[in-house]
Amino acid sequence: MELNLVGADFGHSGNALIIGAPFLRNFIVQFDYPNGRLRLATRDALNLDEVANLPMRAQKGSGRPLVRVTLNDEKDIWMILDTGNSGGIYMKRGIAARRGWLDEFALGKTMSRGVNGIAYTDTFTLPSVIFGPFKVKNVDVAVPVAGEEADFGERYKIQHSRIRGVKVEGLAGYGVFKHFVVTLDYQSGKGHAELP
């Protein structure tokens, strides 16, 4: 997918800028992870309806981009596609426990710092994650330590309605899509992934 757009250079790689969803909703956004580029396009420049290949939707209530992934060829779950998450997957501990992954795979321990605070987690490597048409191998996964909870705003419900959103059970981050050029429309909840 070729986009001819204006670029900006922020200088040294230590310089950082956080751009949030309220800004990103105004554009089609392309994250070229392998080449470290971010591109913005208007909706009239690109129609994601024609090329979308990620099972996605916008989360009801928050508008956050949700993507359905398949974990270890066993379990399909909806996750927040978190472009600001430098990890692989952060998900509910119960999913890993029910699948036996906490016993099957070697566990590590870590402390994660995010915008909203600190979380203590158990970590392991999942052999595969299916992301759209791609199978990503050896993805790092973090789950809250025993006794802790993870809240992903699982289901937003429209007030005075029985319509509920999908059950959100985790975050998919950089470790899942670092090999891809990911194009998103935050407003419509459509997405496309391709190799560079």
User: With bands split at pLDDT 50, 70 and 90, how would you rate the model's confidence at 132?
Assistant: very high
The confidence score (pLDDT) of residue 112 equals 77
**How large is the average pLDDT for residues 19-27?**
76
Res 4 pLDDT > 90: no
What are 37's two structure tokens? 């580029």
Question: What's the DSSP call for residue 53?
Answer: -
CA distance 58 to 46: 18
The confidence score (pLDDT) of residue 118 equals 82
Query: Phi and psi of 153, rounded to 5°?
Result: 60, 50
How do residues 87-100 score in pLDDT, each as one tens digit?
A: 999 999 999 999 99
Q: Which domains does the chain show, CATH number per domain?
A: 50-176 (2.40.70.10)
According to DSSP, the β-strands at 190-194 and 28-32 are unpaired
User: What amino acid occupies position 62?
Assistant: S
Lowest mean pLDDT among 136-145, 151-160, 175-184: 151-160
**How large is the average pLDDT for residues 11-18?**
65
- Read off the pTM: 0.82
Helices and strands (H and E) in the chain: how many: 4, 12
